[in-house]
Structure 1
Amino acid sequence: MCTEVHASQHLPARSWYDLQHQITRCSYHERLGDWDEIVAIVDEVAPEAARRQYRALHTAVLCARARARAHQGRHQDADDDLARAVRACPRSAVDPLIVLEASKGLCATLRGQTRDGDLHFERAAAGCSAIGHRYHEKWIGELRAGATPRDRVAVTRRMELDTTEAAFVLNDVATILGAGHSLDLMAHRIVSLLESTGLRSRVTIERESDCEYQPDPSACCETAADGSLQVRLRGSDRRIDIRVAEVRSIEEFSFLKSLTDLVHAAVHRTVETEHEDSDQNLWPLTAGSSTDDAVFRSPRMIELIRIAVRLASTDLPVLITGETGTGKEIFARLIHDNSRVKRGPFIPFNCATVPRDLVESQLFGHRRGAFTGASETFGGVVRSAERGTLFLDEVGDLDLSAQPKLLRFLENGEVQPLGEARPQQVNVRLVAATNANLEALAREGRFRQDLLYRLGVAVIVLPPLRERKDEIPALASFFLARSAAECGRAGVRLADDFVAALLLYDWPGNIRELANEIRRAVALADDGMVLGARHLAPDIARPWHTRTDTEPVPDTGFPEIRVRLDQSLAQAMSTLEDQFIGHALRATGGRIADAAQMLGLSRKGLFLKRRRRGLVPPTDEPHVADA
């Protein structure tokens, strides 16, 4: 009757609890010895558990079907189920591992391999004892008693592992765990472990270079329909495939699954360690680094960052000065991220973009009806930064009428919205920035002197990019990688003359201008293109193309050589040698011995250099060589 009702209705997708209940049904039918019913239940449940990635549940039902099929004498089908269970079993959960080991023990014992069965039962029981799982411990005992022949009294003990062999195995395991940075070393130790087993004749290894670049190492395991298993290691431009053919038995699957888990652990450990080292050695890694327009590398900037981090731990207002595009907002965010209020909001406010009539109400808020057009009460930017950081950009452009209220806020932490009778207390950290000379503005009466003193308790002066050009190569690489990702370009690289041209330009727009120029060049590039100086905007490339005229060489009275920088080192050295040899021969009237002495060479050394350059007529070779 129930079956008919169920069949006639639309039921929702089965819940996890319903699927878990099927394991209980399997246990019930296992006590009754109803193996066909267990197989039918699992045939229905296993695909759903696999589809929804309930790995522990999937492992349990596969093991139940394997035990049922072993009792039916279908040992090959049971082994296939156990192999699927090994693949599905999550290594982070203990219960599925215990069930899997006990199921292996039952299947092996029913197949007549009592020694292997005892070994798996002992491993399952040891797992139960380790976590104090009394129910599973009792279940394993019942399972073992039901599978073991009645006349068996003695239990075959596990063979002892030779200490030397154990030491070799542990050494290989330790090396794999520590060799995530070296694919070749890891592959060598993996093959060493495989060759110490019966899989030796079925192991093949394949290496390939010049693959697509991959910064972090990775490992993956794949199984094929023909029963082979492949471990693929990737890192940098290398790929190593380790293939094991004809993996059939459950023991082989278990061994290879454990080995691949070990490789995954080694790779993840290496990646995490490298990232930890990066966090400790590269300063800073601030929040929002994927959108920041700066990467700081020079000692001068790193020292400024250290100062900013120290100031962040205080409640002092900080004033950041510098030309536009030097990274003032990045420093402001750095201070916020290292302050006591880092969990609060970071609110930027540009004083130059708000009309002077609205600055006061925007900063400090207003009540409804406080002035014409104030149809709603507005709390103000300062109060919106409560328990956080307010970043006042271009504070030098703040209207004089709003400066007294800002001063009161700095001194007492109070703001008084327009239309309110009483001031309100706020808890806000203030960081201000400007590209103007506030002292000059104060002398001209355009900025309050007392506000300058209050803002300038701690001042950070950011140098322009032209004064820290040693950062340009690192910045260029950073912006290239980011722009290539934004524009979907692969394999774009920077030529030496591109970076040299960047170094010759003065960058009035500083880091922002550099970022935009590289973004433009990458957007116009094709995949795999090498960007040269010719791909830069004309204004930026002009110092590079006119570099020989911009630096006059003082007249010393001696012959001089000019060498172009847009050529390889080998070409430049060849040109220099030709010029030196030609000058020495002219100065000595063609006398080989005197020219060689002038150049600091032997006669034969000078002859060999001239011959390599085709400067020696064939008729002269024997004569000069003999001399």
Structure 2
Amino acid sequence: MNLARKPDSKSGSAHVLLIDDDQDLLRLLSMRLQACGFRVSTATSAEEGLVRIAVEPPQLVLSDIRLPGKDGLALFDEIRSTRPTLPVILLTAHGTIPDAVQAMSRGVFGYLTKPFDSKILLAKIQQALQLSPVSAGQETGNGEVWRQGIVFRNSRMAELLEEARVVATSDASVLIRGESGTGKEVLARAIHRASLRAKAPFVAINCGAIPEQLLESELFGHVRGAFTGAASAHVGLFQAADGGTLFLDEIGDMPLALQVKLMRVLQDRAVRPVGATRAEPVDVRVLSATHRDLEAAMADGQFREDLYYRLDVVTLTLPPLDERREDIPLLAAYFVQQLEKKYGKGITGIAPEALEALASAAWPGNVRQLFNVVEQSCALATTPLINLTLVQRALRGPAMEALSYAEAKLRFERNYLVQLLKLTDGSVADAARIADRNRTEFYRLLQKHELSPDMFRSLPGNTGVAEQ
């Protein structure tokens, strides 16, 4: 097997994950791909592969179908449910070709029959990398300016940003879901900056913060004399955003009467201001966001089904801060850096015990609450390092301990361990202490999930925090 041909510049140094329980084939493939300029990670089971994907997402997965435990098809299904843009190529023996064909119909990028031709394998890998989105850590056409202010290490955030960058290049409507404070408007602004409309206006409005009688005028404008007090004409936000992007925050709180008018604007691409006799054309991309369950709202007759499908062409869901705890130190440090300029106190960072308190606290208010806690701590700080007392005060009570393993649901056990090892940079002693487990028991848990502490040490850092 000779894979001597070098990958082209677009796929060179791409990260490929190989999964196969045949150690000899794994070693051979790994050597050949590395010789071609690829960066290669390996796993001998689907479970280990999923861990490696969680630790450092590759740009391509190459997996055998027949694996111990969870097979390659089940592996693909799990990858597909969490990382739909990650291409997967399956290696199959003749007896499993029907399975591979079935997988192709479900979205597998391709499959190769063993023994395979090395040139065909390399061509298939090149094709997959050419069509797959650029990963969150790579340069895009306009650099990384588009996601400025978004700092993360969490793999779900990396995948989310990758999907956001892809959808930004289209004009598709995007519905951003997530709890309050997760950074929905920050993500919407990032999508706008990555789009072809970046030089045009970005206009945002909170649909739940304005009374119904004023919201219609704010969105669509009004003519002079349209109602009592309308002494002059008013340009609505749709017209103000012409050529650019309109972000409708908390769209689930929009009154039904206005939902009807919004639907007509989206259909006709024209706005009729209140009191006007004719509509005016507008060219606006609509992004919307909500923390509400719109499906339940539709069932209760509180949200129009036709509007829902018009807005929800693509859904992006921001994870709560509790599910991306490894990002808390990065976020806190980023906020300190920003706030130091505001307060000018020479604050250089956060004391280790204070940082641990932040990392293990509950965050019902998500990133917005974290920013508030860091700002309050900066405002009251009298030393270069923010200490534990200031953080505890800002948290309005003693710092909460990290969840113990017994409190974590079994199906999230692996992700919980991954987050702990990321948080501690692979330190088993620190991770075991936070999880409230002795080291012997913690090592058994790591072995159960095929986790190696070495996988979490010296990981390439991501720069790029969803703000408040």
d(CA) in 1 for partners of 2:253 and 2:166? Answer: 28
Structure 1 residues 218-617: aligned runs within 5 Å = 280=139, 285-286=144-145, 289=148, 292=149, 294-528=150-384, 530-538=385-393, 540=395, 542=397, 544=399
Q: Which amino acid in the other structure matches residue 262 of structure 2?
A: L
Measure, in 1, the Cα distance between the counterparts of 2:287 and 2:262. Answer: 12
Return the letter of the residue paired with 2:221: G
Structure 1 residue 400: deviation in Å?
0.9
Deviations 1:255-286 (A, max 9, x none): xxxxxxxxxxxxxxxxxxxxxxx9839x9844
More contact order relative to length (CA 8 Å, sep ≥ 6) = 2
**Aligned 8 A contact 1:501 1:540 in 2:** no
CA distance, structure 2, for counterparts of residue 340 and residue 472 of structure 1: 32
Instruction: Name the counterpart of 2:413.
Output: none
Q: Matched residues in 2 for 1:412 and 1:548: separation?
A: 51
Encode CA deviations 1:229-274: one digit per residue, 9 max, x unaligned. xxxxxxxxxxxxxxxxxxxxxxxxxxxxxxxxxxxxxxxxxxxxxx
Post-superposition offset of 1:520: 1.1
AA matched with 2:159: E
Q: Give the aligned residue type for 2:304.
A: R
- Higher CA-based Rg: 1
State the shift of 1:417 in Å.
1.2
SS at match of 1:376: coil
Answer whether contact 2:245 2:286 (CA < 8 A) is retained.
yes
Q: What is the CA deviation profile of residues 500-528 of structure 1, one whole-angstrom value per residue up to 9, with x for unaligned ones?
A: 11121121111111011111111211243
Q: Distance in 1 between matches of 2:165 and 2:394?
A: 37
Aligned to 2:395, the other structure's residue is in SS state helix
User: 1: CA distance between counterparts of 2:304 and 2:326?
Assistant: 38
3-state SS in 2 of match to 1:407? helix
Q: How far 1:299 moved relative to its partner? A: 1.4
Cα shift at 1:455:
0.7
Counterpart secondary structure, 2:190: helix
* Structural mapping, 1:47-58, within 5 Å: none
Shift of 1:296: 2.5
The one-character-per-residue Cα deviations of 1:349-379 (angstroms, maximum 9, x if unpaired) are 1111211112112111111112222111112
2:420 corresponds in structure 1 to: none
Amino acid of the residue matched to residue 392 of structure 2? A
Deviations 1:381-414 (CA, angstroms, capped at 9, x unpaired) = 1011011111111111111111111111222212
2:139 partner SS: helix
C-alpha contact 2:377 2:394 (8 A) present in aligned 1: no
Q: CA–CA distance in 1 between the matches of 2:211 and 2:166?
A: 35
Amino acid at match of 2:199: R
Aligned pair in 2 of structure 1 residues 404, 323: CA closer, same or farther (>3 Å)? same
C-alpha change, 1:541 and 1:420, in structure 2 (3 Å) is closer
Return the TM-score normalized by structure 2.
Answer: 0.54
Task: Work out the CA distance in 2 between the residues paired with 1:352 and 1:306.
Answer: 29
Take 1:360 and 1:544, find their aligned partners in 2: how far apart are those partners? 45
- The code of the aligned residue for 1:540 comes to L
| Equivalent residue letter for 1:532 | N
Q: Percent of aligned positions with the same letter in both sequences?
A: 40
For residues 550 and 536 of structure 1, the distance between their equivalents in structure 2, rounded to whole angstroms, comes to 25
Shift of 1:297: 2.4
Q: Deviations over 1:17-46 (max 9, x none)?
A: xxxxxxxxxxxxxxxxxxxxxxxxxxxxxx
Question: Secondary structure, in 3 states, of the residue corresponding to 2:208?
Answer: coil
- The CA deviation at 1:465 is 0.3
Residue 320 of structure 1 aligns to a residue whose secondary structure is strand
CA separation in 2, counterparts of 1:548 and 1:364?
Answer: 48
CA contact (8 A) 2:223 2:232 kept: yes
Counterparts of 1:480 and 1:322, CA distance in 2? 25
Structure 1 residues 288 and 301, CA gap change in structure 2 (3 angstroms): closer
Contact 2:347 2:378 in 1 (8 A): no
* Contact 2:373/2:394, CA 8 A, preserved across alignment: no
SS at structure 1 position matched to 2:357: helix
Query: 1:533 deviation in Å?
Result: 2.2
Any gaps of 5 or more consecutive residues in structure 1? Answer: 1-277, 553-568, 573-627
Q: In 1, distance between residues paired with 2:267 and 2:398?
A: 50
**How far apart, CA to CA, are the structure 1 residues paired with 2:400 and 2:273?**
58
- TM-aligned CA distance change 1:505 to 1:411, over 3 Å: same
Q: State the distance in 2 between where 1:510 and 1:536 align.
A: 16
* Aligned equivalents of 2:189, 2:402: Cα separation in 1: 39
Q: Residue 542 of structure 1: CA displacement?
A: 4.8
**Cα distance in 1, alignment partners of residues 139 and 276 from structure 2:** 49
Distance 2:166 2:320 in 1: 22
Gaps of 5+ in 2: 1-136, 408-426, 431-468
Q: AA paired with 2:327?
A: E
1:606 match: none
Cα distance in 2 for partners of 1:303, 1:430 equals 22
State the one-letter code of the partner of 1:427. D
Q: What amino acid sits opposite 2:386 in the alignment?
A: L
Q: How far, CA to CA, are the matches of 1:488 and 1:368 in structure 2?
A: 48
